Structures are given as structure tokens and as C-alpha cells.
Structure 1
């Protein structure tokens, strides 16, 4: 999920683990061994809890009043308070237990004694504590110098300045959207939280409105939001950023004041300290926040040449605006595939508003090549090594002739085509490409090593626009259909469905509202799925003039729908394959091939009864399909038996365990295929030979599915929630 789930889960897991260790330490505390008295009362009713960041001053004295250590500037320190996260940071046991009892602004005295003397008079405002509860604790997580008097009685004076809720990092909405999560759902959640806090505050409840967000796992960069921003997009390399920035030292001393104009810098160019850039990268347009950055993230930069001598700096930032550098495009949004324009082309740049809750728009060239365009380019390919070794140059290795290819057919590396589609005629661009978008998934030249990062210098000479189907005769249209369908079948045989899987939803959007297409994020490898969908869309222009043409038209459209279903099934999208087959069956309920393909999709999805009904119905409709239906039913029976066998093996002995014992689950790995996984009975091809040979067989054998997926979404989530694939009898 664009929520940064992995980072947040790691944060939660670490917190749970640390909390469990702290609970074991707390068991060392016995009644009467820890007492607190208040010197100055605090405000409000809320108290810190595990997971909160606490900010406090601490002064340690001996019983004679000699100061051992202090965070206060009055006693020679820099005045920087201590920041800890309860339940996560390493703390002495006395503070771990005592601070959660304090209110915001409260001052308390903690007296830590070596001996537990119940006859000793306890001063007002003190904690009485055994040595095991402070630095004398066995395996104390907080190290002190050898000269520190950890075996002496010590007074700890604590002032709780503030505390905040901690949240693991910001939500990266850029990633969320690309993974298909509804942005409206995220907005609804946030609006609910805002309404909840507003209602609670209006009733007089003490609600912590401020939430700290962890930017780095070591708490070196933490953000406190003052005013929420607008939208969901956040700056990233190579965006140009404009922001108001002020800086204070940890003791409150002003380091940098606000200037008359916002500070302007380019993301990723080390023009601001590293921690500041990390924090700004989590902010949205208009957001105002305080970024707490420790010295390990304070790098020298033009914005702040001198950073030595500061333990921590507080940056007050208001993000005014950010835009993507027009001559530089981050094609993937992660900085790996970068297109840099080094010579402008001929054409028109126009703004296309791609609405997502009205929050974002993008600029792209209108006169760029569309899919199925014939492109003519010169390019030079170089390895990103010290010598920038040239491995191919069309001007030298192709007798000076440019490379001509049709876009959308997988004829060039994916990264190269993605960038060419955003170029204007005459434009020259420099493209830096990672291996997975260069030659790791494409025919690799002999002089290009595996895993090599590539740089291309590309010049788009020109391109031919795709044909306009409007006004063409029925015969000409059907000829074009055959050409595009042939391309889709070729790509299917080449096994390029995985590259198309993430683009299916975007392809569907393209078919419905092509002018709303997010050109910048669209993948250039459209593959068989998109080829078939393009033809289906263009059928809107087709008007058969007689019954014969109508029959040809319907048969061809159904065939394309079934090929689309085969693509979905091949990449494991069983439900979408079923939905596509339903479109054919809605128009023709006795379409035998659609029943067969839907039955195979049902079987892959684990819906065995539905699959059996489709295969049985095939036989009742068309006796000639009985061999294929019988073979499918046999495979279905084998699948059911295999699932049952795996389930018995997996849960064998599980319920023989005593309560609380852990039973190892024999999980069947997803890359373990049954021996008959690719076996299909019968040879089924279109009577007119139009369907690509083997497409039905290929569709019937989608990527192997693990055992957990046989139990449906709810079952899968349940098993995974147990952790490490283990089950516990409670």
C-alpha cells in the first residue's frame, strides 16, 4: 500500500519489542521502591504514554548538592533538552516509570538511593529508588562513563517541557496513487480524524492535537506539523522548491531568521542540510511544520555553510510551492529513470489537467508520439562507468541510418520508449536508466554486462501519427484490426504480460477517456492487453452495414475480449478475467469458449463449484466441446484433491497441541508447482484460426498460486496476520 507500510510496520514492531523488554524491567520494581513528589504542578490532564516523544530537562545532583550532569544552560550546558520516545528510546528504569506520571510543565525531584531504607525520611518531591532502578541496574541500557557515580545516591530533577504523539513517517501519496488506492478514501479518513479532534476539543476534552512524525528511524529527523498543507503530492528529486525557512538552536537561540523572500533550492542537489531536505520531502504544498534535526543529519550546504557545534537544530518551514524542473523529468517518481532535455524540439507544450480530487495537474508535450506511431530516432548508448563506454551508436553502427520502430510493441527497451514518447520532433534528450528498464528484461547487446545502468543520448527525428479510423470502410477497418491483433498475439507469445499487469487499469482509463491519460506516468509497453483494448475502443467507429458484416464484427470483438481475458488470467488477475468473460456471455450466454475461459479463471481463483458449472454447461451446449470440458473437469478434480492434500499436510498435528504451544505450519511455497500444473487436455483453437495458437493453453495456466490464496482474501489476511506463518492454539 503508497502508505509507507514497510517503514511504519518496522517502527511498530520495534516499539512492541522494546515495550516487551521494558515490561520485564518494570517487574523489578517493588511497592515502595519508587516514589515521586511534585515541586511544580503541570497543566492539563493528559500524561505521556508509550509511543510518545517526551521533551524534558534533567539535572543530576549528589545528595550533597554537587551537580553531576545537567541539560540546562544555567549550569554550563548548551541548554538542549532531552528527547526520548517512551517504549522505544533507551532510558533508565526510574525515568521510564516516573515520566509517564507527570503532566506537561511539571517539575519533580527524583531521589535515587542505593539502599532501600524504609526508616529514612523522604524529602518532599522525591522518588526513592533502589540502585537497580537507575544506572546501577544490571545490563542497564544507558551507558555512562567510568567516572560517573552510579553507585551513589543521586537526585534527579526533571522538568517535563512537552510531549507528543509519534507517527512513523508521512504517507507518500505519490506511491499510494500508483498502487491504485482511492485517494478519496484517504481524504475521508483524514477528515474524520479532524472532525473527531474538533468535537473532542469543543467538549472541553484534553486532546493532543499535535502529532510528531518520524522521518528517520533513529529519530534524527522528526517533524511536528503546525498547519496542514493542501493536496497529496510532495517534493522529490529533481523538483524546484520554494519555502520560508528559519532555524533555531536547541536552546532557542536564533541561527537563521526569515528573509524577505522565500528560499529557493533544487531537491537532490545538496543545497540544504540533509535532514532539512528529508523533512521537506514529507510536506505538502502550504504545510507549516517544525523539523527537529540532530547533528548527524546536519550536512554543510549553501543554505547553511556552518553546522559544526550544533547538537540539534529546529527548522521552522513553510512550504510555499514546488514544481518539477521542466528540462528534467523523473519518469518513475523514484529518481531512477531520469530524462534531461538538452535541446528543445519543435512542437507545443500544453497543460493537461489530470484531476485527482482537483489537487494536481501536469505539463506534457502535446506534439509527442502516441501509441502505434512509427518513430525515427538516432541514439547513442553508453555504460555508466568511468569511461562512459559507448556500446552502440546508430550514426556509426547502423550506417548512419536512424532507428525506426513502432511504439507500443516492445521493440526497444522500456525505459527508452517511455522517454521517447515524451519528446518533441527535433528534441535531444539524455536518459539515465536503471537495469530493469534497460537491458535486464530486453535482448542485451553482447558488450553490455548484466545489471548495467545505461545512459542514452536520443534525438527524435520525427514520427508518423496513427491512422484515423473515422471514414474508413468496414473492410479497411477489419484489416487494421487484424494487424493490431497480430501484434498483440506476438507479444503474448513473447511472455510480456508481467510488464503490462500494472498498466491494465490505466489502459482501461485510456480506452474510456484518452484525454484524461496521465501521459507522464504511463508505461510505454502496452503489450497484448492494450492492443486488444485499443481495437475494442476503435470499434465504436465501426458500423456494420449488413448481417454478414455484423456477424464478422461481433465474432472479432468477442475474440478480442477473450484474448484480453487470457492476458488477465496469465498475470494472475483471475477476477478481471472473469469480468471480461462475462461481457461476452452477457451478449451471448451460450458462447462455449467464453464458458471455458471463465471456468479456467474460476478454477485458478479457487471457485471450484462455479468452474464445474461452466465446464458442465459447455457439454450441454456443444457436444464437440466434450473432450476439452472433460479434460478441464479432470484437472478441476485434481486441483481440489491437491488443495485438500496440502491443507491436511499444513495443519497436520495442529490441533493435537496443548494450549499456548506453537505448531509449525508447513507452508507450500508459491514457486512449487504441481507436476501437472501446465498440463491441459485437448487442442482448442478457433475454427477460423484467428486466435493465436496456444493462447488458450497459456491462459489456462496462470502463475502458480500459493496455498494461502486458496482460502480467499479473508483467509489469507488471517494467516499472514499470525506472523512467520505460525499458528498458536490459545
Structure 2
């Protein structure tokens, strides 16, 4: 900080007022602070922030000899960067906006043994009258000095955009010499943070901003490389004359985009927020209006209207599973655009759905049900699963008997779940519950057999056998699973045990014959391999 001579002024009145207020000592080196006027907020600047102050300075016991107030221009500097004496860096870091204080700064935190001739002699104690007008928070977004953000105007709220959101901004990007190279239209610009716009610094910075925030970005070359959206443009020609960028950026608003599956196969962009916090779950009756389009705008599907919405029950395959999963993340009254990838659809092109959730009715949570309600719900789910199984929809049927992840944090309740916790059941209800539970385990095992999940089959059948050691169906299905994993000894053990319980069971007899044939073929295969090994040794 340079000190210049100006007309001496007398602040005798201020000094007398200051003596009325208590003095505080800052740090271990004797810096003292006496507040003249309190600030208007609780926040204080942090190292790196650009602060703006008015000051007057004097030697201890003397008249003030320098003042920014006389010059009519506030003094600016970056806090904690060594641009001013240490006493300023330490003292001003404790101030609030509009606060005015007297700082008494010892030589060690001022100009030390050398002083600042001719105005400040060696080993001088300085007295500063400082008012903090404002400051601009400055943040190193990239962590390496590549993107420095100076907040010009604070935003509202606390939320900031997420990685997959679509943002609406105003911006002007220019070289350090002031030449504008890109800017948004008068209406602003909307872009996806996944795709980015102009340069990597834009997306990085926006993710740290709040609604309405205005900032100035100082961007080094490595973060300022421009996305070449126009292949004919010669952006590389700008590099020698414009290695670094200054971007004036305002975050106007953003639309939340939810990655339903976590792999960007189902993306939901919220265009209108819904009500409350609840959303549909499996079994909910929902009322929706939606239009399904290709990306070029071609309409392929249209269902419902505001007057007569389309009604269906979630997770019953009445609409495409991807769209159904998106609906189960929506709130009442929410409107959204759902994009489903071609791979997820098993279709030639992705689909875009414009959808509105008019209303929904959820099932009562199982933990709120009384014992009889749980039993009834379990029977309903089991019967629904049976119908799906007969239709060859084994995955959906399995979901009715069991639970699976719909999203990262939401689980479906399996039919058996409703009757697992039976401490409040009567003896008759316990018998009903155990019978239903065994039936659900066995039915789910049948589904898993159809889709080749043999390890799950063995687990489910083992659960049944722990409750009913003589259950022939469980032994039979577990033996099939063991055959599927070529664990033939265990398969034969279960088959023989099933036959000892029910010697006339036709299905078990047929499977026993298949097992014998399989073991015979396996024995021949082993003998052939052994014979080949012996011939090579000889």
C-alpha cells in the first residue's frame, strides 16, 4: 500500500467517540481495534477477496496525513495476498460491511524497522481509521488458479445447479484486451451442463453459482479452450492474441435434470415443480397426460388430457417401463420432459416424453397396515405375480414376489415382506402368513429358474426348507438350480430326498432321469479327458 501526502485533517471528535467503545486485541502481536460504527451483516471477507475501503492514517499521537476520503476514491486490494501491510490483512478480515473502526498497528505489522520515508519513520506505530465499504468474494474454482471467480452480485437462496441440469445464463466473453469473442443473445442462452458451452470454465463456474448471481471469471488458456461448434470457424487463430479469457457471467435460472437410472439412460428435466414431497410408488393409481415424440418432433404416442387424464397403476407394464420409472419420481402437479435412450427402449432412436402428473393415490405403507391388511396385500401381490408368470413375464412376476431397486434409494416391497414381521399376528394369522410366505418364495424361485438366476433359486428354496424340511417343490426346484450350475451331486441329493417324500411324483421322476443322463454324459466326458492325458504322458 503506497502512502501519499495530503492535507492534514483533524479527527479529534472521532477519536473521542472511539474512546467510549471497548478496544479489542487481534492476534498475538499487539494489533488493536476499536469499532466506531457497527457493520450491517454477520459476514466478513476471506483471504483472496477483493475489498474496497476508505481510510485515513496517522502516526500515533499525531495528525492524519493521508486519506482516501480526500481523494474521493475508495482503495481496493486483495485481502491476504501481501498487497498491503500485515496489520491491514489481519484487521480488515475481522470487519463487516459498512463497519468503521480505528486500528492501532504496531511496527511489526506495519513498516517495521525501515519505515516508509519520508512520511513513516522507522519503528512507527500507525493509527488507521478504516471503513469497509464492500468486498467481492474471489474463489479459485479449479484449485490451480485456472478459473478465478469474482462475485460481483450475490445470488439468492443456497441451491446451485447439479451436473446434469440445464441452465439459463447471460454472458460476455472477451480477451484480456477487451475484444469480445462471444456473447449471449438479448434473450440469454440455455445449455446443458453435460454438453457445456463455449469453454470448460463456463460449466465449472455455473455449478458454483446461485440463482441471480453475477460473476467475473478470469480464465487461463487450459480452461478457456473454446468448444468449436462451427467446424468452419478458426477459433485457433485467436489463441496467440487471446490466450486468456474474461467472462462476465450471470446465472438467471436453471431447470433441474434428474438422472433416473444413474447412467443417463433416463433423464427427467423438470419444467414445472410439483406440490409437497410425496410421489407415486409401485401399485399407486396415477393420472397423467403425456405425449411421446422422436427428437425431430414426430409424435408417436399421445395419452390423456387435463379434462380426462390417462389412469394406470404403476409397475404393471401399462406404459413403457422407463417412463413409468420417471413417473414414480414425480410430485403431484409436476411437469417434466423425459428423455429415454434408444438402448434402454430397445428402439432405433431415443424418445422424448412431455408428461404431467395430474394426481395419484398411493397404497398404505406396509408398516402402517394391521395384520389382516398385510395378509390381504400379500395375497393380491402373489395373485398379480401368478398372472404375470402365466403371461411369460417372469421378471415382472418376480418383482411382485420380491423387491428390487427402482432407483438408487427406493425399494419395492415384495409380497412376502408383508407377512415377514408377524409378532402382532394371531395364531391363525401366523399360519396364513407362513403359508403365503412359502408360496411367494417358491413362486419367485420358479421365476428365477426361467431367467437363469440359479443362485437366487437355491437361496429361496433353502429358505422354504428351513421352514418346511419336507417341501417337495423346494427340493425339486433347488435340484434344477444345481443342475443349472453343474453341481450334479447336490442336485441328485435333492432329487433322491424329494422321491423319498413323494415316490410317485411324475415331474420329479422325469427330472431324476434327466439327471442320470446328464451324469452319464459327464462321466464319459471325464473318461475321455483322462484318456487323452494318459496318452500324452505315454
Bigger Rg, structure 1 or 2? 2
- CA distance in 1 between counterparts of 2:221 and 2:474 reads 60
- CA distance in 1 between counterparts of 2:535 and 2:395 reads 43
SS in 2 for 1:540: coil
Deviations 1:237-268 (A, max 9, x none): 4488xxxxxxxxxxxxxxxxxxxxxxxx9533
- CA distance in 2 between counterparts of 1:647 and 1:273 reads 64
C-alpha distance 461-650 of structure 1, shift in aligned 2 (>3 A): farther
Q: Which of residues 273, 281, 287 is equivalent to 1:376?
A: 287
- 1:328 Cα deviation after fit: 1.1
Look up the match of 2:380. Answer: 483
Alpha-carbon contact 2:196-2:202 (below 8 Å) kept:
no
Deviations 1:214-238 (A, max 9, x none): xxxxxxxxxxx99xxxxxxxx8544
Look up the match of 2:303. Answer: 394
C-alpha distance 427-649 of structure 1, shift in aligned 2 (>3 A): farther
Alpha-carbon contact 1:470-1:541 (below 8 Å) kept:
no
C-alpha distance 346-457 of structure 1, shift in aligned 2 (>3 A): same
- 1:275 Cα deviation after fit: 12
* Matching of residue 415 in structure 1 with residue 322 in structure 2: yes
Q: Which of residues 576, 584, 592 is equivalent to 2:456?
A: 576
* Matching of residue 299 in structure 1 with residue 237 in structure 2: no
Look up the match of 1:245. Answer: none
* Matching of residue 628 in structure 1 with residue 507 in structure 2: yes
Look up the match of 1:610. Answer: 490
Look up the match of 2:408. Answer: 518
- 1:433 Cα deviation after fit: 1.5
Deviations 1:93-147 (A, max 9, x none): xxxxxxxxxxxxxxxxxxxxxxxxxxxxxxxxxxxxxxxxxxxxxxxxxxxxxxx
C-alpha distance 507-556 of structure 1, shift in aligned 2 (>3 A): closer
- 1:474 Cα deviation after fit: 5.0
Large movers: runs of 4+ above 6 Å: 274-278, 291-295, 645-658
Look up the match of 1:554. Answer: 434
- CA distance in 2 between counterparts of 1:276 and 1:400 reads 43
SS in 1 for 2:311: strand
- CA distance in 2 between counterparts of 1:592 and 1:333 reads 42
Look up the match of 2:356. Answer: 459
- 1:585 Cα deviation after fit: 1.2
Look up the match of 1:359. Answer: none
- 1:468 Cα deviation after fit: 4.5
Q: Which of residues 314, 337, 340 is equivalent to 2:266?
A: 337
C-alpha distance 656-594 of structure 1, shift in aligned 2 (>3 A): same
- CA distance in 2 between counterparts of 1:560 and 1:578 reads 14
Alpha-carbon contact 1:474-1:544 (below 8 Å) kept:
yes
Structure 1, unpaired ranges of 5+: 1-224, 227-234, 241-264, 282-290, 316-324, 349-366, 441-449, 511-516, 659-730
- CA distance in 1 between counterparts of 2:393 and 2:435 reads 26
Deviations 1:29-50 (A, max 9, x none): xxxxxxxxxxxxxxxxxxxxxx
- CA distance in 2 between counterparts of 1:435 and 1:275 reads 31
C-alpha distance 621-425 of structure 1, shift in aligned 2 (>3 A): same
Structure 2, unpaired ranges of 5+: 1-142, 145-161, 168-190, 208-219, 245-253
Deviations 1:679-721 (A, max 9, x none): xxxxxxxxxxxxxxxxxxxxxxxxxxxxxxxxxxxxxxxxxxx
SS in 2 for 1:345: coil
- CA distance in 1 between counterparts of 2:425 and 2:270 reads 47
- CA distance in 2 between counterparts of 1:344 and 1:471 reads 29
Q: Which of residues 259, 267, 276 is equivalent to 1:347?
A: 276
Counterparts of residues 436-515 of structure 1 (less than 5 Å): 436-438=343-345, 440=346, 451-469=348-366, 475-497=372-394, 507=403
Alpha-carbon contact 2:415-2:440 (below 8 Å) kept:
no
C-alpha distance 336-585 of structure 1, shift in aligned 2 (>3 A): closer
- CA distance in 2 between counterparts of 1:473 and 1:460 reads 30
- CA distance in 2 between counterparts of 1:642 and 1:238 reads 59
Higher strand share: 2
C-alpha distance 543-632 of structure 1, shift in aligned 2 (>3 A): farther
SS in 1 for 2:356: strand
C-alpha distance 328-645 of structure 1, shift in aligned 2 (>3 A): farther
- CA distance in 1 between counterparts of 2:417 and 2:291 reads 37
* Matching of residue 595 in structure 1 with residue 492 in structure 2: no
